[in-house]
Structure 1
């Protein structure tokens, strides 16, 4: 081929290589930020938190709400367990019954559990909670505690939440933890939740920021929750919507790391995929909804907490992040452009450090931990599959099925 034509072809190839290199460096910087964010808050999660200082001594009246969507067997166990909870003040337990059998409703009422029936064409947890609060007397309760249908309150849950309200908080998140780790997937899910607890709850709260909500094991001032739920709509992530609304009000969310609520963990890939589909759909929903407002809140109102919630919506889900970094590392071994293999290796090392630091030490004593880690590639496959099912989360209520389970001992 004449040199003239070779030079003609060389210019577009060089230009293409430059564009690809710039794109890879841009992606690298974004993923570096992801790793730095996770590592910083993983380390912050080990900072000692000062004990709460109660401003008043008052036993507030609790209303425990348990939304139940077609979970007849599980709700009987969890609601009766809630009734047995020890608290020095007054409290009532209500099941928000959505699609429960008449026999279940009757047994709940007989056992002393209040029943608030709701009917929706498309069910969502946010709408169920809003409807339930509208059925309750306006000034009968001070605090609303929200449990998932499979949740069991740990010892002194209400007592410690009450102390946080006595210290001046209007929103409290307890430490939700696994009540079952009897399969590799359940243990992997339990590890994921504890890492979330360290980074997004304990780490943030330790440096004076708001904890993130997690959807259950949380408590609100009754009147404030009623206000927050106005116009909640059909979002698939009502806890994230509440997060944004609370930080917009510049209210602090308290995190009680030593106060437990036991939660059933996912045992198989099908349910894992379904749950992650809902989570990814919620993340994308709020990224689209609040990205621009996050910048406005930061520069106009100085609301860094709101901006931080938007930043969290930009972060790549961790299991996907592991796969993405691994893919770029392998690609860099053959591609002559973009960051070097060393750069991607450092990012993988930073991410690994963040995850291992954030995971509580007691998990390393569990002999099944490494078996669970071997399921990470399958979990990555499930996450990729979830990405292609996001539209499904917007058209139907992807509830997570539950089983009756006893609380497992500490790992």
Structure 2
């Protein structure tokens, strides 16, 4: 009996250390993100030629508006828009070409965004462009997006991540997703960049030196988390990722529980994939090469998804009132307070002051249930791309 009780205590203390590290990590970078990032102000010496790549997987209903908005974007230099068409209707391709968008048609037994980007880059000449910009099929570039990207490259960066933000918040799930996006921006991009680390890539609204991007995509494989794979590859090269906090790309947020679950299934599957793949490599990079960036990316792969972290801490806090073993309620209460502080610091005031915020918070238990479902379905992500369906129309106020 004594051995069993000792084992139970050890499990609780091990869990406490792990969850405390999660909360400390999030709170540290939430506080770091309060530092202002000075925008790059120097005038560019040259306006580089840019290709805007938009992978479109069976999104005929959305891509026409996205392509049109991209083609109408204002840039001082020269840029071309390339739609990577995977499973688009023939009439949609004709309409895209009528808009003067370039269309690169691809087809795979198992489609992934990484493979589509690699196929497109292999078709383009190595000397055709200076910068490759990646957008999702629902993304709209904010005002001066390409000009500011060019400015960052002129300042010496070769990888840039812009501030992706919501273009729709009409439902509770869309509002929650918008909040989640901004928290990620604050902690993993602004917070890291503010203290001299690389910002994390987010999958779209990102720009690369053209030749470097072509090399990064080699052997990208069938991963469902191509942005994380690129993150690790860039960190291994010790190349700094710039974050443009005031440069926006607008992204459609998910509006239903079903789509939320599908999207999170893909995200969790990607996190598990890279946790297994780079766990030992992270320590090797740190100890043998002093590569803190790579080690930090590895640490991020071991963080509990925030929605699950909230649920786990609440459950542990409640059980501690009736369970005589483990840690007291005050410990779990402090961790909950740390997590709540990190999230509130990371959330723009305009969101938690919004009257819809309380309504969205009341949906958290259901969102947590969806996250649990996503955990149970991660094997499904290995068999299917699980793309996020889109339906939001372009807002004329965003087109520039």
Aligned equivalents of 1:371, 1:327: Cα separation in 2: 22
Residue of structure 2 aligned with 1:180, choices 154, 159, 168: 168
- Counterpart for residue 241 of structure 1: 229
1:295 aligns with 2:283: yes
- Counterpart for residue 61 of structure 1: 49
How high is the TM-score relative to the length of structure 2? 0.98
- Counterpart for residue 357 of structure 1: 345
Q: For residue 92 of structure 1, give the secondary structure of its aligned residue in structure 2.
A: strand
Residue of structure 2 aligned with 1:392, choices 372, 377, 380: 380
Aligned equivalents of 1:311, 1:115: Cα separation in 2: 39
Residue of structure 2 aligned with 1:72, choices 60, 74, 89: 60
Q: Is the 8 A contact 1:54 1:164 kept in 2?
A: no
- Counterpart for residue 41 of structure 1: 29
Question: Does the C-alpha gap of structure 1 residues 300 and 53 become closer, same or farther in structure 2, counting only changes over 3 Å?
Answer: farther
Question: 1:175 deviation in Å?
Answer: 0.3
Question: Does the C-alpha gap of structure 1 residues 364 and 308 become closer, same or farther in structure 2, counting only changes over 3 Å?
Answer: same
Question: Does the C-alpha gap of structure 1 residues 17 and 407 become closer, same or farther in structure 2, counting only changes over 3 Å?
Answer: farther
- Counterpart for residue 134 of structure 2: 146
Moved over 2 A (4+): 50-56, 404-410
Q: Is the 8 A contact 1:180 1:407 kept in 2?
A: no
Question: 1:337 deviation in Å?
Answer: 1.2
Correspondences of 1:7-406 after superposition (within 5 Å): 13-52=1-40, 54=42, 57-406=45-394
Q: Is the 8 A contact 1:35 1:350 kept in 2?
A: yes
List runs of 5+ in structure 1 lacking aligned partners.
Answer: 1-12
* 1:158-201 per-position Cα deviation (integer Å, ceiling 9, x unaligned): 00000000000000000000000000000000000000000000
Aligned equivalents of 1:48, 1:71: Cα separation in 2: 38
Q: Is the 8 A contact 1:45 1:358 kept in 2?
A: yes
Q: For residue 73 of structure 2, give the secondary structure of its aligned residue in structure 1.
A: coil
Aligned equivalents of 1:103, 1:126: Cα separation in 2: 25
Larger Rg: 1
Q: Is the 8 A contact 1:126 1:232 kept in 2?
A: yes
Q: Is the 8 A contact 2:140 2:394 kept in 1?
A: no
Question: 1:354 deviation in Å?
Answer: 0.4
Aligned equivalents of 1:369, 1:166: Cα separation in 2: 40
Aligned equivalents of 2:2, 2:277: Cα separation in 1: 39
How high is the TM-score relative to the length of structure 1? 0.95
Aligned equivalents of 2:102, 2:282: Cα separation in 1: 40
Aligned equivalents of 1:348, 1:77: Cα separation in 2: 43
Question: 1:330 deviation in Å?
Answer: 1.2
Q: Is the 8 A contact 1:95 1:116 kept in 2?
A: yes
- Comparing 365-374 with 285-294, greater Cα deviation is found at 365-374
> What is the root-mean-square deviation of aligned Cα atoms in Å?
1.2
Question: 1:52 deviation in Å?
Answer: 2.5
Aligned equivalents of 1:265, 1:406: Cα separation in 2: 13
Aligned equivalents of 1:150, 1:55: Cα separation in 2: 30
